[in-house]
Chain A
Amino acid sequence: MTPPSLLEVHELSMRFGGLTAVDGLSFTARASEITAVIGPNGAGKTTVFNCITGFYRPTSGGIALSAPGDGTLALERMPGHLIARRARVARTFQNIRLFAGMTVLENLLVAQHNALMPSVVNGLLAVFGLAGHARAERAAIERACFWLDAVDLTARADDPAGALPYGAQRRLEIARAMCTCPVLLCLDEPAAGLNPRESDELSVLLRRIRDGAGGEPGCSILLIEHDMGVVMRISDHIVVLDHGRKISDGTPADVRADPAVIAAYLGEGDEDEVTESAA
């Protein structure tokens, strides 16, 4: 039985002046699955993420998210902050974007801003100790601690985020995204710069996020990654992009065997064959 679809990208195109970064891309990400988006450098993967999370307005096409209990949301028309808040799509960035001068714990509390402060009036009432702020704050810290534990950063909760080693910063960014209670988590190259052991731990963490644990509901994942080891190990479904177009789509086994993918990754695939036959 295949799970219901969560995110439907339909004929998505994104042009920057004369450059078409994404060209008529359609794919589906299903609920409680890890969907990987792979492709050579400059294939348009980050651009797809930016369209989904509202940082870019697509030139054409649609992005529909079936939100539980909220019908279908057209993400291509929503402002960026509402995509995170109402559609509950969280993301990380290819070049880590933490609040470097704030502590690890503060980073996780900022992520819960909307839960802590439903409106500006609410936020101002809190100055006078009203609006049930203290209780909300305790719950937020509890949630932060849960994710700190999940990414193994509890010991560093009071350190500034900018002082963490690279791998820890990557994990913190994932924890921060998870603190927004997302239904879809978009990760842009989370394994970049990690050593093999850290990559393995990341795989375990991502599976745990997908399946849910410790009272957390499962969360679907959209994953951009160059580390094929990680991708093949944990993905349920892979979409391959090249020059903004989808060239393959299927299970890891399907994709690995697809000649179009091999050609795209090896570059001038036919030439290689020619030299081989000549040898």
Chain B
Amino acid sequence: MSAVSAGAAALRDAFLSALVALGLFGAMIGLKTEVGPTSLVLVPRPWAVAIAVAVVFAGRLALLTWRAWRPAGTPSPRRLVTAGARAGRFVAPLLLVFAITLPAYAGRYWIDLGILVLTYVMLGWGLTIVVGLAGLLDLGYVAFYAVGAYSYALLAQNFGLGFWTCLPLAGLLAACWGLILGFPVLRLRGDYLAIVTLAFGEIIRIVLLNWVSLTNGPQGISGIPRPTLFGLTFTMDGGPGSVADFFGVEPDISQRVIFLYYVIFGLALLTNWVSLRLRRLPLGRAWEALREDEVACRALGINVTTTKLTAFAIGACFGGFAGAFFATRQAFISPESFTFMESATVLAIVVLGGLGSQLGVALAALVMIGGTELFREFAEYRMLIFGAALVVMMILRPRGLVSGRTPSVSLGSSRQISADLISQGRG
């Protein structure tokens, strides 16, 4: 009897959802504008509406049935966490081997895509230091990326410095910018911090756009030198001093692409190594403590301001490295590459991956950047698919792909800490 009434309730619920869908879609899907002989004409499409409404009805009913029938005990978070950790032990080495061997069998297109993904992996790992470990919500990470890119471009253009000299300088300049930005900003918390960092990201872009004498404004900077391999260049003519000449092989564009691939791979691994190592050191532990409870940190004698600043500066430094790489890879940069969209993408990667999880970030970057590339043929539906996927993810795994945290030190056997105990930081 109760099953019957539950069924009736579910039907009514689904019917109401269908009604709402009808109201929404009636005009949006049901009417289409077409160019007529003299003016625009409205073409009604009742079938499209009917299908959309039917889908909503069936979907809602299916969801309700699933909710009613699924096993009473939801899987315990602890079991999920350990299962995740066990899977992670296999996934990480597999991904690593895949990344190392990719140039051996993949074509130019795939290597280019790999470079793009790895750039975002690196940015994600850099931002993880700030957002995941220290719990400071930074919506303007692209500022550091831009500072790194423009540092290299301008140093190369004005002083003729090479990529490998400029790389540390770009990181250093970005870190300095992180400190300058951090000083006034870190008094703020939570939403306020997020808004101000967002504004700083925009300010950088607008300065780059308008300081024409230095940055060449919207035209950008072109002819940025490519990186060299121990002084050997990757020129197409295969002249003396080029890689092709030195090794006695035919010059080929793919040599440079593969080299770039391994450069960003190395940079990303460096980022990962440093942040993994920092996590186990007092500095990283202080960041995490700060995320957990700032007041307690202060009571333990931790200088909250400097600790936050170091997180900002080190995160910024890796953003700067990535920026310098971006500049040398594109050989051309303009302020257009450093919009808020970039910050949002990197932040989405970090959040989707699971705050503070290195593997999660790598997977998220692969899915988000690789995924959007693969769905290119779907044109405008790409973003829709993508948004829907994000929403589904956040419902199923609200704490990201790989949630939970591995302790930085342990006396006996180290166990994963489930995500519901971990604070996300309040700025």
Give A residues with C-beta under 8 Å from B: 53-55, 80-85, 90-91, 93, 97-103, 105-106, 109-111, 113-114, 116-117, 120, 123-124, 126-127, 133, 137, 141, 145, 157-160, 162-163, 176-177, 180
Q: How far is the CB of A80 from chain B (nearest CB, A)?
A: 5
Let me know if B298 and A101 touch, CB within 8 A. no
Check if A100 sits within 8 Å of B292, measured CB to CB.
yes
A160-B285 CB under 8 A given contacts A105-B409, A113-B302: no
Residue of B at shortest CB range from A99? Answer: B292
Query: At the interface, yes or no: B405 with Cβ under 8 Å from chain A?
Result: yes
Contacting pair A102 B407 (CB below 8 A):
yes
A113, B296: Cβ atoms under 8 Å?
no
Asked whether any CB of chain A lies closer than 8 Å to the CB of B300, the reply is yes
Label chain A's interface by main secondary structure.
helix
Taking A103-B410, A105-B410 as known contacts, 5 extra A-B pairs with beta carbons closer than 8 A to each other, sorted by chain A number, are: A101-B422, A105-B409, A106-B409, A158-B411, A177-B300
Given known pairs A97-B293, A120-B310, the reply for A127 and B281 (CB within 8 Å) is yes
- Cβ–Cβ < 8 Å partners of B411 in chain A: 105, 141, 145, 157-158
A159-B286 Cα distance, complex, nearest whole Å: 18
CA distance A51 to B265 in the complex (A): 52
Q: Are B285 and A97 in contact (CB under 8 A)?
A: no
Q: Could you tell me the distance in whole angstroms from the C-beta of A252 to the nearest C-beta in chain B?
A: 28
Top-4 shortest CB links A-B = A101-B422, A84-B301, A85-B301, A99-B292
What chain A residues lie within 8 Å of B413 (beta carbons)?
158
Q: In the docked arrangement, what's the CA distance between A267 and B289, Å?
A: 42
Option from B278, B283, B410, B421 in Cβ contact (under 8 Å) with A100 = B421
| Chain B residues, Cβ within 8 Å of A141 | 409, 411
Most A Cβ at <10 Å: residue of B303, B411, B415, B422: B411
CB distance from B12 to the nearest CB of A (A): 42
Within B272-324, the residues touching A (CB, 8 Å) are: 274, 277-278, 281-283, 285-286, 288-289, 292-293, 295-304, 306, 310
A100-B422 contact in complex given A81-B302, A105-B409, A158-B414, C-beta closer than 8 Å? yes
Q: Quote the shortest CB–CB distance from B77 to chain A (angstroms).
A: 11
Distance from A173 Cβ to chain B, minimum over Cβ atoms (Å): 9
Q: Do the beta carbons of B286 and A110 come within 8 Å of each other?
A: yes
- Neighbour of A111 across the interface among B292, B300, B306, B310, CB < 8 A: B300
Report which of A84, A98, A124 forms a contact with B283, defined as CB distance below 8 A.
A124
Q: Which residues of A contact B299 (CB under 8 A)?
A: 53, 55, 80, 84, 90-91, 93, 97, 177
Question: Across the A-B interface, how many residue pairs have beta carbons closer than 8 Å?
Answer: 135
CB distance from B291 to the nearest CB of A (A): 8
Given the contacts A99-B292, A158-B411, A158-B413, A110 and B297 also touching, CB distance less than 8 Å? yes
A157 lies within 8 A of B293 (CB): no
Point out the residue from A93, A99, A133, A162 that lies within 8 Å of B281, measured CB to CB: A133
Q: What's the minimum C-beta distance from B322 to chain A, rounded to whole angstroms?
A: 19
Q: Given the complex of chains A and B, what is the CA–CA distance between A120 and B405 in angstroms?
A: 25
Shortest CB distance A243–B (Å): 26
A137→B284 CA distance, assembly (Å): 14
**Given A127-B277, A127-B278, A145-B411, is A81 in contact with B421 using a C-beta cutoff of 8 Å?**
no
- Asked if A102 and B289 make an inter-chain contact with CB atoms under 8 angstroms apart, the answer reads yes
A250 CB to nearest chain B CB (Å) = 30
User: Do A180 and B301 contact each other (CB < 8 Å), given the known contacts A123-B281, A157-B411?
Assistant: yes
Cα A80 to Cα B305 with chains together (Å):
12
User: Does B281 contact A126, Cβ atoms closer than 8 Å?
Assistant: yes
- The answer to whether residues A103 and B407 also contact, given A84-B298, A84-B300, A114-B301 and a CB cut-off of 8 A, is yes
Chain A proximity mask over B389-424: 1 for CB below 8 Å, otherwise 0: 000000000000000010111111111011001110
Q: Which A residues lie within 8 Å of B303 (CB)?
A: 81
Most A Cβ at <10 Å: residue of B289, B296, B423: B296
Contact B274 A127 (CB under 8 A): yes
Given A106-B408, A113-B301, A126 and B421 touching (CB < 8 A)? Answer: no
Q: In the docked arrangement, what's the CA distance between A226 and B278, Å?
A: 42
User: CB within 8 A of A123: which of B283, B288, B408, B410?
Assistant: B283
CA distance A145 to B417 in the complex (A): 21
B415 partner residues in chain A, CB cutoff 8 A: 158-159
A101 touches B421 (CB 8 A): yes
Distance A267 CA – B411 CA, assembled complex (angstroms): 51
State the CA gap A87–B175 with chains docked (Å). Answer: 33
Sample 29 A-B pairs with CB under 8 A, ordered by A number.
A53-B299, A81-B304, A84-B298, A84-B301, A85-B301, A90-B299, A98-B293, A98-B296, A99-B292, A100-B292, A100-B293, A101-B405, A101-B422, A105-B407, A105-B411, A106-B408, A117-B282, A117-B283, A120-B306, A126-B281, A126-B283, A127-B274, A127-B278, A141-B409, A157-B410, A157-B411, A158-B410, A158-B412, A159-B415
